[in-house]
Amino acid sequence: MSLIPGGRGTFAQAVITVYDGSGAPRPNVNVTGNWSGLTNSNFQGATNASGQLVIISSATKKSGTFTINVTNLLASGYTYNPSLNVVTNASISN
């Protein structure tokens, strides 16, 4: 995660990387989740060829903590097992 200062305030950016059971980056995985803390919103997007998805929060001029939570992964031919996740959420403060 990183902070991005902007004219409307500060944004948080998270890079989500999805790997398959053998540890290879997994493209075309639909990732859903939400932001909480300083901003509250849901997100959805698909991982790129490197298995990554970049998510940017809405901006705020307040100080505090941005938290991102991944709630589901969906990929054709795979079953999502959240108990195998290494990380499902992360936070950063400004």
| Whether pLDDT at 82 is above 90 | no
What are the residue ranges spanned by the domains of the chain? 2-73
Q: What is the mean pLDDT of residues 25-51?
A: 97
pLDDT band at 2 (very low <50, low <70, confident <90, very high): very high
| Mean pLDDT of the chain, nearest integer | 94
Residues 45-61 as b or e (16 or more Cβ within 10 Å = b): eebeeebbbebebebbe
pLDDT greater at residue 82 or residue 4: 4
Tokens of 5: 């200062």
Report the C-alpha gap between 20 and 34 in whole angstroms.
22
pLDDT in tens, 54-72: 999 999 999 999 999 999 9
| β pairing state of 2-6 and 9-17 | antiparallel
Q: What per-residue confidence (pLDDT) applies to 94?
A: 92
Report the C-alpha gap between 63 and 54 in whole angstroms.
22
Q: State the pTM of this model.
A: 0.89
